[in-house]
Protein backbone atom coordinates (compact mmCIF):
# COMPACT_ATOMS: atom_id res chain seq x y z
CA UNK A 1 0.00 0.00 0.00
CA UNK A 2 2.75 2.46 0.98
CA UNK A 3 4.83 1.50 -2.05
CA UNK A 4 1.88 2.24 -4.36
CA UNK A 5 1.25 5.58 -2.66
CA UNK A 6 4.92 6.53 -3.00
CA UNK A 7 4.87 5.58 -6.67
CA UNK A 8 1.79 7.71 -7.39
CA UNK A 9 3.18 10.69 -5.48
CA UNK A 10 6.40 10.31 -7.47
CA UNK A 11 4.41 10.55 -10.71
CA UNK A 12 2.60 13.59 -9.33
CA UNK A 13 5.92 15.14 -8.34
CA UNK A 14 7.34 14.64 -11.84
CA UNK A 15 4.22 16.05 -13.49
CA UNK A 16 4.15 19.14 -11.25
CA UNK A 17 7.86 19.75 -11.73
CA UNK A 18 7.51 19.39 -15.48
CA UNK A 19 4.71 21.98 -15.50
CA UNK A 20 6.72 24.35 -13.33
CA UNK A 21 9.81 24.13 -15.56
CA UNK A 22 7.93 25.33 -18.63
CA UNK A 23 5.41 27.69 -17.04
CA UNK A 24 7.96 29.84 -15.18
CA UNK A 25 9.61 31.19 -18.36
CA UNK A 26 6.16 32.04 -19.74
CA UNK A 27 5.29 34.04 -16.62
CA UNK A 28 8.61 35.88 -16.93
CA UNK A 29 8.17 36.61 -20.63
CA UNK A 30 4.74 38.27 -20.51
CA UNK A 31 3.96 41.74 -19.15
CA UNK A 32 4.67 41.82 -15.43
CA UNK A 33 1.55 42.23 -13.34
CA UNK A 34 -0.77 41.68 -16.29
CA UNK A 35 -3.50 39.03 -16.47
CA UNK A 36 -1.27 36.51 -18.26
CA UNK A 37 1.54 37.02 -15.74
CA UNK A 38 -0.81 36.49 -12.82
CA UNK A 39 -2.40 33.45 -14.45
CA UNK A 40 0.83 31.65 -15.29
CA UNK A 41 2.45 32.76 -12.06
CA UNK A 42 -0.38 31.15 -10.12
CA UNK A 43 0.01 27.94 -12.12
CA UNK A 44 3.74 27.97 -11.33
CA UNK A 45 3.05 28.58 -7.63
CA UNK A 46 0.72 25.60 -7.30
CA UNK A 47 3.06 23.43 -9.37
CA UNK A 48 5.84 24.24 -6.89
CA UNK A 49 3.54 23.56 -3.93
CA UNK A 50 2.67 20.13 -5.31
CA UNK A 51 6.24 19.33 -6.38
CA UNK A 52 7.71 20.47 -3.05
CA UNK A 53 5.10 18.68 -0.93
CA UNK A 54 5.43 15.39 -2.81
CA UNK A 55 9.24 15.65 -2.67
CA UNK A 56 9.10 16.05 1.11
CA UNK A 57 6.64 13.16 1.43
CA UNK A 58 8.64 10.74 -0.70
CA UNK A 59 12.03 11.74 0.68
CA UNK A 60 10.84 11.32 4.27
CA UNK A 61 10.01 7.65 3.66
CA UNK A 62 12.96 6.87 1.40
CA UNK A 63 15.65 8.66 3.38
CA UNK A 64 16.67 10.89 0.44
CA UNK A 65 18.25 13.87 2.17
CA UNK A 66 18.93 15.93 -0.95
CA UNK A 67 15.37 15.55 -2.26
CA UNK A 68 14.01 16.43 1.18
CA UNK A 69 16.10 19.60 1.40
CA UNK A 70 15.26 20.82 -2.10
CA UNK A 71 11.59 20.07 -1.50
CA UNK A 72 11.55 22.13 1.69
CA UNK A 73 13.57 24.94 0.13
CA UNK A 74 11.52 25.25 -3.06
CA UNK A 75 8.24 25.05 -1.12
CA UNK A 76 9.31 27.75 1.32
CA UNK A 77 10.54 30.07 -1.43
CA UNK A 78 7.32 29.62 -3.41
CA UNK A 79 5.25 30.49 -0.34
CA UNK A 80 7.53 33.45 0.41
CA UNK A 81 7.19 34.78 -3.13
CA UNK A 82 3.42 34.34 -3.10
CA UNK A 83 2.86 35.93 0.31
CA UNK A 84 4.85 39.00 -0.75
CA UNK A 85 2.00 39.92 -3.09
CA UNK A 86 -0.16 40.49 -0.01
CA UNK A 87 2.39 42.81 1.62
CA UNK A 88 2.07 45.85 -0.64
CA UNK A 89 0.29 47.75 2.12
CA UNK A 90 3.37 47.58 4.39
CA UNK A 91 4.86 50.41 2.32
CA UNK A 92 2.73 52.84 4.35
CA UNK A 93 4.03 51.66 7.75
CA UNK A 94 2.29 50.62 10.93
CA UNK A 95 1.47 54.19 11.88
CA UNK A 96 -0.97 54.22 8.95
CA UNK A 97 -2.62 51.00 10.11
CA UNK A 98 -0.61 48.46 8.08
CA UNK A 99 0.24 45.23 9.90
CA UNK A 100 1.88 41.98 8.78
CA UNK A 101 -0.55 39.07 8.70
CA UNK A 102 -0.27 36.14 11.10
CA UNK A 103 0.51 33.89 8.13
CA UNK A 104 3.63 35.97 7.41
CA UNK A 105 4.92 35.58 10.97
CA UNK A 106 4.20 31.84 10.96
CA UNK A 107 5.95 31.33 7.62
CA UNK A 108 9.04 33.25 8.71
CA UNK A 109 9.17 31.53 12.10
CA UNK A 110 8.81 28.07 10.59
CA UNK A 111 11.48 28.88 8.02
CA UNK A 112 13.89 30.03 10.73
CA UNK A 113 13.46 26.79 12.67
CA UNK A 114 13.71 24.57 9.59
CA UNK A 115 16.75 26.26 8.07
CA UNK A 116 18.63 26.56 11.35
CA UNK A 117 18.21 22.79 11.71
CA UNK A 118 19.24 22.31 8.09
CA UNK A 119 22.38 24.38 8.60
CA UNK A 120 23.22 22.57 11.83
CA UNK A 121 22.85 19.20 10.13
CA UNK A 122 25.08 20.34 7.29
CA UNK A 123 27.79 21.46 9.70
CA UNK A 124 27.71 18.24 11.76
CA UNK A 125 27.38 15.83 8.83
CA UNK A 126 29.42 17.77 6.28
CA UNK A 127 26.59 17.68 3.74
CA UNK A 128 27.16 20.42 1.14
CA UNK A 129 23.49 20.86 0.06
CA UNK A 130 22.47 21.22 3.71
CA UNK A 131 25.10 23.91 4.23
CA UNK A 132 24.02 25.81 1.10
CA UNK A 133 20.26 25.55 1.66
CA UNK A 134 20.58 26.17 5.39
CA UNK A 135 22.73 29.27 5.03
CA UNK A 136 20.64 30.83 2.26
CA UNK A 137 17.44 29.96 4.11
CA UNK A 138 18.69 31.50 7.36
CA UNK A 139 19.68 34.72 5.58
CA UNK A 140 16.32 34.89 3.82
CA UNK A 141 14.17 34.22 6.89
CA UNK A 142 16.30 36.58 8.99
CA UNK A 143 15.71 39.36 6.46
CA UNK A 144 12.03 38.46 6.32
CA UNK A 145 11.63 38.68 10.11
CA UNK A 146 13.50 41.99 10.19
CA UNK A 147 11.10 43.35 7.58
CA UNK A 148 8.04 42.16 9.50
CA UNK A 149 9.33 43.81 12.70
CA UNK A 150 10.00 47.10 10.93
CA UNK A 151 8.02 49.95 12.46
CA UNK A 152 8.40 52.40 9.63
CA UNK A 153 7.22 51.96 6.04
CA UNK A 154 8.88 49.34 3.89
CA UNK A 155 11.17 50.65 1.16
CA UNK A 156 9.27 51.29 -2.05
CA UNK A 157 8.83 48.10 -4.03
CA UNK A 158 10.24 45.78 -1.35
CA UNK A 159 7.31 43.45 -1.82
CA UNK A 160 8.15 43.25 -5.54
CA UNK A 161 11.80 42.39 -4.88
CA UNK A 162 10.69 39.72 -2.39
CA UNK A 163 8.24 38.32 -4.92
CA UNK A 164 10.91 38.02 -7.59
CA UNK A 165 13.53 36.49 -5.31
CA UNK A 166 11.03 33.99 -3.89
CA UNK A 167 9.65 32.69 -7.17
CA UNK A 168 12.97 32.70 -9.03
CA UNK A 169 14.60 31.04 -6.03
CA UNK A 170 11.95 28.33 -6.02
CA UNK A 171 12.59 27.74 -9.72
CA UNK A 172 16.35 27.53 -9.12
CA UNK A 173 15.85 24.98 -6.34
CA UNK A 174 13.58 22.86 -8.54
CA UNK A 175 15.99 22.93 -11.48
CA UNK A 176 18.89 22.12 -9.14
CA UNK A 177 17.05 19.06 -7.84
CA UNK A 178 16.24 17.89 -11.35
CA UNK A 179 19.82 18.41 -12.52
CA UNK A 180 21.41 16.66 -9.54
CA UNK A 181 19.15 13.62 -9.81
CA UNK A 182 18.58 13.32 -13.58
CA UNK A 183 21.67 14.70 -15.34
CA UNK A 184 24.47 12.27 -14.38
CA UNK A 185 26.76 13.52 -17.15
CA UNK A 186 27.31 16.77 -15.19
CA UNK A 187 29.83 16.15 -12.38
CA UNK A 188 29.14 16.96 -8.75
CA UNK A 189 28.84 19.66 -7.43
CA UNK A 190 28.31 21.47 -10.76
CA UNK A 191 25.09 19.55 -11.45
CA UNK A 192 23.78 21.09 -8.25
CA UNK A 193 25.31 24.57 -8.60
CA UNK A 194 24.90 25.50 -12.28
CA UNK A 195 21.28 26.72 -11.98
CA UNK A 196 22.38 29.16 -9.28
CA UNK A 197 25.29 30.37 -11.40
CA UNK A 198 23.01 30.84 -14.43
CA UNK A 199 19.90 32.40 -12.88
CA UNK A 200 21.16 34.44 -9.92
CA UNK A 201 23.17 37.06 -11.89
CA UNK A 202 20.14 38.10 -14.03
CA UNK A 203 17.99 38.20 -10.88
CA UNK A 204 20.51 40.46 -9.16
CA UNK A 205 20.73 42.72 -12.23
CA UNK A 206 16.94 43.08 -12.52
CA UNK A 207 16.58 43.69 -8.76
CA UNK A 208 19.22 46.42 -8.84
CA UNK A 209 17.62 48.08 -11.85
CA UNK A 210 14.26 48.18 -10.05
CA UNK A 211 15.91 49.52 -6.88
CA UNK A 212 17.56 52.30 -8.88
CA UNK A 213 14.23 53.30 -10.41
CA UNK A 214 12.50 53.26 -7.01
CA UNK A 215 15.33 55.34 -5.53
CA UNK A 216 14.64 57.95 -8.23
CA UNK A 217 11.06 58.28 -7.01
CA UNK A 218 9.27 55.81 -9.24
CA UNK A 219 6.75 53.41 -7.73
CA UNK A 220 6.07 49.80 -8.70
CA UNK A 221 2.81 51.01 -10.30
CA UNK A 222 4.93 53.17 -12.63
CA UNK A 223 6.86 50.21 -14.04
CA UNK A 224 4.32 47.38 -13.98
CA UNK A 225 0.66 46.69 -13.39
CA UNK A 226 -0.08 46.60 -9.65
CA UNK A 227 -3.27 45.26 -8.16
CA UNK A 228 -4.00 45.93 -4.49
CA UNK A 229 -5.65 43.06 -2.62
CA UNK A 230 -9.09 43.89 -1.12
CA UNK A 231 -7.84 43.16 2.40
CA UNK A 232 -5.23 45.92 2.09
CA UNK A 233 -7.27 48.48 0.22
CA UNK A 234 -8.19 50.23 3.48
CA UNK A 235 -4.81 51.97 3.66
CA UNK A 236 -3.31 54.44 1.22
CA UNK A 237 -0.75 52.65 -0.97
CA UNK A 238 2.50 54.48 -1.66
CA UNK A 239 4.90 51.84 -2.91
Q: What is the pTM of this model?
A: 0.88
Instruction: Give me the chain's average pLDDT, please.
Output: 86
With a pLDDT cut of 90, the percent of the chain lying above it is: 39
Q: Report the distance separating Cα 145 and Cα 31, nearest Å.
A: 30
Q: What share of the chain is helix, strand, coil (3-state, %, to 5)?
A: 80, 0, 20
**Structure letter (DSSP) for residue 214:** H
Predicted confidence band of residue 11 (pLDDT cuts 50, 70, 90): very high
The answer on pLDDT for 125 being more than 90 is: no
Angle between the N-to-C axes of helices 190-215 and 158-182, in degrees from 0 to 180, rounded to the nearest 10:
170
Amino acid sequence: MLATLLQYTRYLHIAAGFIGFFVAPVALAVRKGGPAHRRWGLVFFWAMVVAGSTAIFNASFKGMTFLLLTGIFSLYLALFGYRSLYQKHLAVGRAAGARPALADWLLAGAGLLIFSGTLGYGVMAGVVPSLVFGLIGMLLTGRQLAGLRRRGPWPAGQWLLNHMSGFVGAYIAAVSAFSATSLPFIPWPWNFLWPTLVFVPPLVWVSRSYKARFAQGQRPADVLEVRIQPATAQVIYKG
